[in-house]
Every structure is written in structure tokens, then in C-alpha cells.
Amino acid sequence: MQTDLRLTSRRKTVAVALVAALSASSALSVVPGAAFAEPAGGYANLVQKVSPSVVYIEVTEKAPQVSDSGGQMPQGFPFQEFSQQFGIPFPGMPGNGYQQQQAPQGHGVGSGFIIDPTGLIVTNNHVVSGASAVKVTLTDGRTFDAKVLGTDPITDVALIKVDSPDPLPAVSFGSSKDIRVGDDVMAVGNPFGLSSTVTTGIISAKARDIGSGAYDNFLQTDAAINKGNSGGPLFNDAGQVVGMNTAIMSPTGGSVGIGFAVPSDLVQNVVAQLEHGGKVEHGWLGIQIQQVSPDIAAALGMSKPMGAMVAAVTPDSPAAKAGLKRGDIITAFGGTDIKVLHDLPRAVAMTAPDTKSQIDVLRAGKKLSLNVSVGTMAPQKA
């Protein structure tokens, strides 16, 4: 049976169900991941502490216009004869004034979490993308119309806001860098529309590349994540958000214990930009890269394959101006070691445009350091 990678929000139209689920402005205190403090008695205290900050999101999608394919039904179409016999007009029949029809509006559900008492809420881009209306429901039953402040399709992060007369319960971010493989985590969300559902598990792996894009850097967890969990938080034992649940790998469409969350360190970075500008600008070098093969590594005297090899350099790009050449092997960028191919796109994309960065290169077996002024990546779709 083929295994599918699925995002974890829940979209539905009439008679059709679509599977969809891929920083705070100030640094917050960080508590490294550890075993939960209350395993014997369950997680009730932790749930009571954080669940009021997790919200249920309902989305109404814009309804597309559907053409009638020229206003004519195919010859011999069974309903055509029926219409002629009984005088009942059908869409597409001449004389009924039919030009085009409005497709049913799509509806979807997802999750989110409040990060500021003023009503700032984080969720996935794919939860609110293309929405004509967004409604947020709190655990106490209050509902609010939400405004989308900004989205970033590349990282699948979105920031929305509701206006409440009273301060709302908010959660804080923890460090995804400090969370360890094997640490306990807890997910809260709305799988299949079932609000305020809690599941627990561990961090199964870090820095997962799941093939959804060049910037994959997911936390993997075996905490049950399903359709409708998109945008919901993944908590550490201190009740801090260490990830945002986004995707699952499953042959059935339901949880089989392989879920993925956007790391909180990345979410904080993106949210800070969305809050202050409504958009995110990602760094850009202007190169194409390829994996360093074992044969190339051996020929250059490397102990093992590592880094990213430059396959092509875009003319007049930041990389070209810095002196990068085809065949160079980039081993570090901006102080970040490039161990595998995807380390470089992630490091560059999360660098602010116009930043001066150092690139460590292996060229024909010799080590070089180049200085580059990072450019701005063109807007991209998810």
C-alpha cells in the first residue's frame, strides 16, 4: 500500500471531502524538554493550563465560477431528450439563460493557538489560504470573526487576529532547538472537527525532510495528529509551544504515529515578521545546488560526503557577485554548518535580505571564505 504525505487541516465541499493538513516578537524564557512532571496522575494539570489558548478555526473558502462549457450539452446526452419531452430546462440547454454557475463554497476546519492576550493567533497557512471568512471559537464557547494579518506559504505559517473586549489566554514559545529526541510532548487540536482533543507522545526525530519543499525542517512525533489538527500546538512539559502540527505520513489518511510539526524557533521568526509587516522576506543567493556524492567527496579528499555543491550560478545574483563558482562545495553559511544539501536553503531562506554573511567553500580541494550580501527571494506559492 502506498504511503501518502498529508497535511492535517480538514476541508470539505458538498459531497467531497478534501484532505488538507505544511516568532513571537520578543524572546521568551526557555525550559529544555524533559520528562513530564505528572505521568502517574496523567496530564490533567498541563491540559487545564494550556487548552484555553487553543482555538477551533472554521474557514469559508471563496467559491469559484464554473463555466457551462459554451452553453451546450453534449449531443445524445440523456437529460437533453428528457428536457425536450417534458419542457424542463437543464443547465446548458439553449433558451434557459444559463451562462455560468456558482460552485458550492468550500468549508474547512483547523486549529490555532493564542500567543498574545490582544488576540494574535498562529495557525497554518494552508488552513486559511484562500479564505473569504475565518471564524475562531474558544474553549469557553465564545466565537470571533478573525482577520488574516499575513501568511508565509514557504514555511506554512499564518498569523490571524481577533478583537476581544477582554484579554485572551495566551501561551508562550519554548525552544525547538533544545527539545530532544525522546522528550515527551503533548498535542492539542481539533481532529476531524472534535474540538479540544489532547494526545501525547514523544519527539521521534528532528530536522526531518519530508519532501514538501526545499525548506523542510520538521519535528517528528508519534503523538496522534489527524485532519483538523493543522495549526495546533505541540507542547513541552512546561506548557510551552515547541512546534506547530502541520502534516502526517499515512497510508490511510489517519494517524499511524508519524506526524510532523514546524519547529517553534522557525514559527517565532516568521510570526515576528508577519506581525510587523504582514509578509515575510526570505534570503536568496541565486544558485542551484546538488548533493555531494561519495565519489566527489573521495576525489576531493573529504572523509565523507557533506555540504552542498554549486551546480549553477545565476548571473548578476548575490552569489555571482560574491565570487561563487560552479563546482564549489559550500560547507558553512553565516556560521551554520552545511552538513547535508537541505541545510543550505534553510539557512539562506531564514537570513534577512541585505544581511552580510560569510560562506565557507571548498574549491578544488582548497578552503576559501567569501562574503555575500544576501538578496531577496521572489514571492513563492506553497
Annotated catalytic residue within 204, 230, 255, 357: 230
Counting DSSP H helices and E strands in the chain, the numbers are: 7, 25
Looking at the chain, list the stretches that DSSP marks H as alpha helix, in order from N- to C-terminal side.
44-50, 78-86, 125-128, 264-277, 294-299, 318-322, 343-349
3-state secondary structure of 38: coil
Question: Does the active-site annotation cover 230?
Answer: yes
Side chain identity, residue 213? G
Q: Cell 552542498 sits at which residue?
A: 308
Nine-digit cell string for 91: 443547465
User: Kind and range of the H or E element at 300?
Assistant: none
- CA 345 from centre of chain: 16
Give how far Cα 259 sits from Cα of 109, 210, 253, 379, Å: 18, 11, 12, 28
Give how far Cα 366 sits from Cα of 31, 293, 302, 321, 371, Å: 42, 18, 11, 20, 17
Annotated catalytic residue within 152, 156, 222, 343: 156
User: Kind and range of the H or E element at 12?
Assistant: strand 9-13
Looking at 92-225, list the stretches that DSSP marks H as alpha helix, in order from N- to C-terminal side.
125-128
Nine-digit cell string for 360: 565557507
Annotated catalytic residue within 126, 175, 222, 237: 126
- Residue 124: exposure state from Cβ atoms within 10 A (0-12, 13-18, ≥19): buried
Instruction: List the catalytic residues.
Output: 126, 156, 230
